[in-house]
């Protein structure tokens, strides 16, 4: 018992020392900035810079790291302090709520928020609204009037483009299936609906035989894409709606040796998808502009803090990339390894 106490207290000391150090650094870096502020916001007093808390949907995918790097770029450019965090897993709605609550308690000047579940977050968003903290939604958007603006890809339109490409590549006829990352989030739903509805409206000879959800988990998505091909041996194409889903489909096609038969279309980016496109296992993929999302989020937050008008929606754009344009400058800026 005594030993544990010693370990515990020494751990606390180490943590306390770390905490002090970073506070010290923060106040040092902010000391040159003498702009006076009339509120009592703790973060601002420490550093002198406006503080923006950014809550993303996760950080396990390279995508979020690209968003973070875009946000950091903007933070440097506009001289603001940011924090960037997200749950480990994109199904942890509850964990994200706790992060948003903690962010509110820190009294930031603005919050950037990518909701895993719009409904679940609305009470906290109202609380932020009452406190006068501007909210900038990013990535998937938030189903609420409260966010001043949303910096995001038009996922529905992007998925529709994926559907058009799929139709073109399989000759506008045959069976196809979807591996979607989840059915709860707005991105999951839009990337499914944009694809499904485009196929149903424009391509009567294409049949969607199955839609399954793999949580964006690589192994889970591999196993389920494999089963889809077993259930439908004549499947012409599969669309994977995010990085983990698309990699799962690629793994499955490779494991079954169906590289020549099944057209794979992905979403997002990452080393394995880029390699799969180079190898010809994946026909192509849609990429968002994650750095742009991060950058525009912080930029909009700064405008909001300064009391400037912000547009209702900020479209951060998307691209189709395949073997033919992978090396283009525009694509290289939007894909990430």
Partner 1 sequence: MTTDIANSHATAQKKYFKGTGALQQILAFASLIILIIFFSIASDNFLHWSNIEGILLSTTVIGILALGTTFVIITGGIDLSIGTGMTLTSVMTGVFIVYLGLPLSVGIIGGILSGACIGFISGFSVSILRIPPFIATLAMMMIAEGLSLVISGASPIYFSDIEGFNSIALGSVIPGISIPNAILVFFFMVLIGWVLLSKTIVGRYTFAIGSNEEATRLSGINVKKWKLIIYTIAGCFTGVAGVIMASRLNSAQPALGMGYELEAIAAVVIGGTSLSGGKGSLIGTMIGALIMSVLTNGLRIMSIPQEWQTVVIGFVILLAVYFDMLRKKNA
Q: Angle at Cα 12 formed by Cα 9 and Cα 16, nearest 5°?
A: 140
The only residue of 10, 29, 119, 227 in contact with partner 1, by rule CB under 8 A: 227
Q: Is position 271 an interface residue for partner 1 (rule: CB under 8 A)?
A: yes
Q: Which stretch binds partner 1 (CB under 8 A): 73-81, 98-106, 134-142, 267-275?
A: 267-275
251 near partner 1, judged by CB under 8 A = yes
Note whether 233 binds partner 1 by CB under 8 A: yes
Considering only 21-29, 95-103, 105-113, 222-230, which stretch makes contact with partner 1 by CB under 8 A? 222-230
Q: How many C-beta atoms lie closer than 10 Å to residue 333's C-beta?
A: 13
Nearest to 284 by CA among 276, 293, 294: 276
- φ and ψ of 300, to 5 deg: -65, -40
| Residue 219 binding partner 1, by CB under 8 A | yes
Cβ-based burial of 259 (10 A; exposed 0-12, middle 13-18, buried ≥19): middle
Q: Which of residues 35-64 bind partner 1 (CB under 8 A)?
A: 58-60, 62
The two structure tokens encoding residue 4? 């544990």
Q: Does 205 bind partner 1 (CB under 8 A)?
A: no
Beta pairing class for 318-322 and 284-288: antiparallel
- Residue from 184, 256, 326, 331 in contact with partner 1 (CB under 8 A): 256
**The binder of partner 1 chosen from 127, 207, 261, 275 (CB under 8 A):** 275
Residues 281-310 within binding reach of partner 1 (CB under 8 A) = none
CA distance 314 to 231: 42
**10 lies in the binding site for partner 1 (CB under 8 A):** no
Extended strands (E) in 56-116:
81-85, 110-113
Contacts with partner 1 by CB under 8 A lie at 58-60, 62, 65, 88-89, 209-210, 212-213, 217-219, 222-224, 226-228, 230-233, 247, 251, 255-256, 270-272, 275
């Amino acid at each position: 018992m005594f030993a544990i106490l010693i370990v515990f207290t020494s751990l606390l000391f180490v943590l306390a020392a770390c905490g002090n150090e970073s506070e010290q650094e923060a106040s040092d870096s902010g000391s040159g900035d003498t702009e006076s502020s009339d509120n009592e916001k703790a973060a601002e007093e420490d550093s002198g810079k406006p503080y923006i808390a950014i809550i993303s949907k996760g950080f396990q995918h390279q995508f979020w790291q690209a968003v973070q790097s875009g946000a950091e770029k903007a933070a440097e450019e506009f001289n603001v302090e940011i924090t960037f965090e997200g749950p480990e897993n994109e199904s942890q709605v509850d964990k994200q709520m706790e992060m948003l609550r903690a962010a509110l308690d820190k009294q930031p000047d603005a919050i950037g928020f990518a909701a895993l579940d719009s409904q679940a977050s609305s009470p906290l968003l109202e609380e932020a609204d009452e406190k006068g903290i501007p909210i900038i939604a990013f990535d998937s958007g938030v189903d609420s009037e409260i966010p001043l603006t949303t910096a995001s890809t038009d996922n529905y339109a992007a998925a529709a483009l994926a559907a058009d490409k799929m139709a073109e590549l399989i000759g506008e006829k045959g069976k196809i299936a979807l591996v979607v990352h989840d059915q709860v989030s707005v991105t999951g739903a839009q990337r499914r609906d944009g694809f499904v509805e485009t196929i149903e409206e424009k391509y009567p000879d294409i049949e969607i035989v199955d839609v399954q959800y793999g949580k964006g988990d690589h192994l889970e998505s591999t196993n389920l894409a494999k089963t889809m091909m077993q259930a439908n041996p004549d499947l012409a194409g599969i669309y994977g709606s995010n990085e983990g889903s698309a990699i799962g489909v690629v793994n499955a096609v490779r494991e079954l040796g169906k590289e020549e038969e099944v057209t794979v279309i992905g979403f997002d980016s990452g080393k394995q998808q880029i390699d799969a496109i180079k190898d010809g296992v994946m026909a192509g993929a849609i990429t968002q502009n994650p750095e742009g999302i991060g950058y525009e989020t912080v930029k909009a937050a700064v405008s909001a803090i300064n009391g400037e008008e912000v547009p209702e929606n900020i479209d951060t754009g998307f691209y189709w990339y395949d073997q033919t344009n992978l090396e283009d400058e525009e694509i290289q800026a939007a894909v990430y390894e």
